[in-house]
A and B are shown apart, each in its own frame.
Chain A
Amino acid sequence: MSAKGLSIRVRGTVQGVGFRPFVWRLARELGVTGEVSNDGQGVRIAAWGDEAELDELARRIRDEAPPLARVVGIEVCGLEGQGWGAFRIVESGQGATTTAIPPDAATCPGCLAEIRDSAERRHGYAFTNCTHCGPRLTIARAIPWDRAQTSMADFPMCEACAAQYGDPADRRFHAQPIACAACGPHLWIEGAEGEPIAAAVQLLRAGAIVAVKGLGGFHLACDAMNAQAVAELRRRKARDAKPFAVMTARPEDLCEVGAPARALLESAAAPIVLLPRRGAVPDALAPDQDHLGVMLPATPLHHLLMAEFGGPLVMTSGNRSDEPQVIDNAQARETLAGIADAFVMHDRAIENRLDDSVLAMDEAGAPIPIRRARGFAPAPIALPFDDLPPVLACGGELKATFTLIRGGEAMVGPHIGDLEQAAALGDYRAMLDLYRRLFDFTPEIVAVDAHGGYLSTQMGERIAQETGAALVRVAHHHAHMAACMADNGVQDGQHVGLLLDGLGLGPDGALWGGEALRGGYRGVERVGGFAPVPLVGGAAAMKEPWRNLLAHLRVAFGADWRAAAGPVIAHLPDEARLRLAESMIDSGTNCPPCSSAGRLFDAAAAALGIYPARISHEGQAAMALEALARPFDEAAWDVAPALEWSGLWRALLGDLDAGVAPGRIAARFHATLARALAHQAAAAGAPGGHVILSGGVMQNRVLLAALRREIRARGMVPVAHKQVPANDGGLSLGQGIIAALGERGE
């Protein structure tokens, strides 16, 4: 049989993940000749062999790609000429930039076996990694993805590591962060004596709090089963009730772990997954919650710590209260001084803060993204379009992210957090700079939220001015809708969107937050929405649920609300304060009307006595209400399915009066809301049409499940988020695609 030539081009995340040595090994095994190289578009292969060999090569490239590779496309075409010598790896030539940096990846089985094997030279070494695992974006200083451009530049390779790095047959061929105890970063403990892991574990067993420098930042660790230690951590961190995540090698001891959850936990991203609690878990880990956020150890350091400690550890972000977690040793010593009893430190610098990613699971076992950061960024998201112009979208104010769009892809930046935190604003700027260099990106368009007060909007205005890019202002809820469509690859069209969140600026200048929209990427019209209710004291209404209860009762029952409210009055403040709040409503003093869904949840929770006075973190009351409702399967109240809530309030107060259990009332509340929303969607859309579900309230799984059921029952197709969060973390994706497709907001 005569030799035939084949050109194979592989696109996607295929650089820095061991793709070339993988092809090299395959080709050698099959006896194929030719070469493999990286170029600006991915990996290029020229191969000569007989037809069967080449078919086999192409098939196995597709099927057996290395674990961290994400193949988007493979194009194969015939090739003239002749093969020569043995198959070889060709270094990238001039001009062929290899810019891609893959996401950070959890320790692979190979590396894990090595650190556990006393015969291996990396036995017990906390910074073991290879081409299939280890730090990536967190240690990147610049492009290209090369050791010299990472914080590993400070550690010259020893001979043994250099040999592995240079051997295409080795799992560590071109593994940029390659290290061993002889040449790599080392671990130490401050505030205790001895071997760092053993000393830390001894402290943890005694109920102490230990700061541990992880992959994307410092964690604060304590024994998760020691209620006293957990309470002390809360006290020192000034974190009243926000749930703590737990790291454990055996999540099934704490939670119900189905097969999809197991797969998610064990994925290279190694995220925190919210799972149903079971067994004796201290309540203080997640007060009022029936779920617990768990993750597996994701680095050799964490594996060593877990193996020595044995049980689950709280692993909460190393910071004071709501600040971004610290990443720098000196900063950790200073900031965490009054919180941690000891510090497990190392000398590999964290260049980019990346929070742990968080996902929940829906009723069918599909992931619901809540926070997208470590393990996911900077992987691109494929869009249902090609040839989009370069757009920078700047995102929201809380849970801020930015997105770069170009061609058919969106590079959604990691969760940065609340931009009002000075450190987060600095991180936003630094991460954006890195992404722009990473993707060699100059925006033609800058997309921002319509709200001029967002710091992200101001940042975008500034960048547009500097770069000469066009500025596009996108209405908040249109962006939410577009984000969910793009997330799911939905084409443009006349879709219905149900967008539920706390608050965003509508195109009419009003404050929106519970909207039914119709349209697509290029524009929407409002076809319905929650009746507006005064936001008593503006943003203060987010912190004090009673304000929303008062506002809802006043809107539902007018001046006579006291007669209707009955025992609910007990959850409102004293008469003097109440009168003042009413005079604020009457005079319109800092009481902007707002159709917020989030505030309706707060009001309902307050009526049931759930944190009426004050919440300690965003969504606390609504999440408690959701958890309360979960065990029950209740039908909606028999009220008109309208987005006006007087019927709902009458029914809710009636149930309270009749002594119905709060959990059942909470379940009926969710069901009533879902029915009214689905009714609205059906009225606005066509049978078989999509109903796009987005906004932070869509993270409520009880509501989401009920809503999907109701929408399907009306012959329509619910579409919920699966790659980016429904909350404002997804906003930048929506802004970006709207701007790229040409809606001009100004």
Chain B
Amino acid sequence: MSGILRPGAAVEMAHGGGGMATTRLIREIFARHFANPILDQGHDAARLNLPHGRIVMSTDAHVISPLEFPGGDIGSLAVHGTINDVAMGGAVPVALSAAFIIEEGLPLETLDHIAASMGAAARKASVPIATGDTKVVERGAADGLFITTTGIGLIPEGIEIAPERIAPGMAILLSGTLGDHGVAILSQRQGLAFGTTIESDSAALHRMVGDMLAAAPSIACLRDPTRGGLSATLNELAEAAGVSMTLKEAAIPVRPEVAGACELLGLDPIHIANEGKLVCICPPEQAEAVLNIMRAHPEGRDAAQIGAVGAHAAPGTPGLLRMETLIGGMRVVDWLAGEQLPRIC
């Protein structure tokens, strides 16, 4: 191929200088892969025509090592992550922006792969990348590539997603298996040789969410259990809503290969990050209908009710989130303060 993508070529400081090299980088990589009518207008700021109503806006900075991993890469992850954050607000995503911080020396071929994957993810999700920015920093000032995406979306009439609406007796639903993303990244990063390749679950969930909300507008809360995993997400919600929650360990779906890896690693899938899963809390009488809708989507194939909301409790009380274990015990599911630092041994 002619142009900047010569074999062995890498990003140079000049690519961020604002001159010809920058223009070529944007045109030959980003504009080519992201092509859509809004971006193609070529303005510094994207202009969007929106109807009146409530708008959701969310931003996420993505830093991940390795940049490419089984089941995805930082590009598709940056698209999915922000689309999901918008969707968890109960909104229909409208457009994304993307800002790139590139470390000098990143192979152009890698950048091209990632941009292609990012464009494909946005196209598949039907959410255009409407505007963007690119900066190049000196070697060592970044780790390959950082991508920040911002998304906006519109909340349909009659939808009210808020933790405060979580009430005793509600059902806690999970859209699929836990731990896939975190374990995929960890095994890739550390070169851990598990027998089978574990793939990240990175996926956009907005279409499934749209169908769920259309069928059950009284869904109280939606969250994607990313960093900190399911335990952090539910502890946060229990705290915010001032309720206790009880999970059933036997009902929580985990892929056998992920469970096996976690057993050896000494990690609990409940604390591990996911990038294509959501937790839905809804009135119990709607649980079955919502589950059926989730299961009709490939991202929700393994959806299950994993627990229920218990009584009101003072926020800040330790032990709000509990889990009935496989042997019938009831254990407190704590969130981890930062690293998975062992407490007992």
Cα of A503 to Cα of B345 in the assembled complex, Å:
5
Residue among B195, B264, B316 with most chain A CB within 10 A: B264
Residues of B within 8 A of A455 (CB): 318-319, 332, 334
A454 CB-CB contact with B under 8 Å: yes
B55 CB-CB contact with A under 8 Å: no
Q: A511 to B342, Cβ gap below 8 A? A: yes
Cα of A419 to Cα of B334 in the assembled complex, Å:
11
Dominant secondary structure at the B interface: loop
Residues of A within 8 A of B340 (CB): 538, 590
Residues of A within 8 A of B264 (CB): 537, 540, 577, 580-581, 584
Q: A539 to B329, Cβ gap below 8 A? A: no
B341 CB-CB contact with A under 8 Å: yes
A459 CB-CB contact with B under 8 Å: yes
Cα of A580 to Cα of B316 in the assembled complex, Å:
40
Q: Report A315-332 residues with CB < 8 Å from chain B CB.
A: 320-323
Residues of B within 8 A of A579 (CB): 193
Q: Report B36-68 residues with CB < 8 Å from chain A CB.
A: none
Residues of A within 8 A of B20 (CB): none
Residues of B within 8 A of A398 (CB): 344
Residues of B within 8 A of A542 (CB): 344-345
Q: B344 to A580, Cβ gap below 8 A? A: no
Q: Report B138-193 residues with CB < 8 Å from chain A CB.
A: 186, 189-193
B277 CB-CB contact with A under 8 Å: no
B336 CB-CB contact with A under 8 Å: yes
- Closest Cβ of chain B to A47, distance in Å, is 52
Q: Report A523-568 residues with CB < 8 Å from chain B CB.
A: 535-542
Q: A535 to B329, Cβ gap below 8 A? A: no
From known contacts A538-B266, A581-B264, infer whether A592 and B341 are also in contact, taking CB-CB under 8 Å. Answer: yes
Q: B343 to A462, Cβ gap below 8 A? A: no
Q: A538 to B192, Cβ gap below 8 A? A: no
Residues of A within 8 A of B336 (CB): 453
A452 CB-CB contact with B under 8 Å: yes
Q: A537 to B265, Cβ gap below 8 A? A: yes
Interface size on B, residues (CB 8 A): 33
Q: A422 to B331, Cβ gap below 8 A? A: yes
Residues of A within 8 A of B329 (CB): 320-323, 421
Residues of A within 8 A of B322 (CB): 422
Q: A397 to B332, Cβ gap below 8 A? A: no
Q: B267 to A453, Cβ gap below 8 A? A: no
Contact pick for A453, options B193, B331, B337, CB 8 Å: B337
B317 CB-CB contact with A under 8 Å: yes
User: Would you give the 0/1 interface string for A575-603, flagging 1 where the beta carbon is closer than 8 Å to chain B?
Assistant: 01101110110011110101010110000
A458 CB-CB contact with B under 8 Å: yes
Contact pick for A587, options B190, B327, B332, B334, CB 8 Å: B190
Q: A453 to B316, Cβ gap below 8 A? A: no
Cα of A707 to Cα of B190 in the assembled complex, Å:
42
B330 CB-CB contact with A under 8 Å: yes
Q: Name the CB-closest residue of A to B338.
A: A452
A423 CB-CB contact with B under 8 Å: yes
Q: B343 to A454, Cβ gap below 8 A? A: yes
Q: A596 to B345, Cβ gap below 8 A? A: yes
- Closest Cβ of chain B to A419, distance in Å, is 7
A420 CB-CB contact with B under 8 Å: yes
Residue among B336, B337, B342 with most chain A CB within 10 A: B342
A502 CB-CB contact with B under 8 Å: yes
Q: B265 to A458, Cβ gap below 8 A? A: no
A491 CB-CB contact with B under 8 Å: no
Cα of A40 to Cα of B194 in the assembled complex, Å:
67
- The 25 sampled A-B contact pairs (Cβ below 8 Å) are A320-B328, A321-B327, A322-B329, A420-B334, A423-B330, A451-B341, A453-B334, A455-B319, A455-B334, A458-B318, A511-B341, A537-B265, A537-B266, A538-B340, A538-B342, A539-B343, A540-B263, A540-B265, A580-B193, A583-B190, A587-B192, A590-B266, A590-B267, A596-B345, A598-B345
Residues of B within 8 A of A (CB): 186, 189-195, 263-267, 316-319, 322, 327-332, 334, 336-337, 340-345
Given contacts A459-B318, A511-B342, 11 further A-B contacts (CB under 8 A): A419-B332, A420-B334, A421-B329, A422-B319, A423-B330, A458-B318, A458-B334, A535-B345, A541-B345, A588-B190, A590-B267
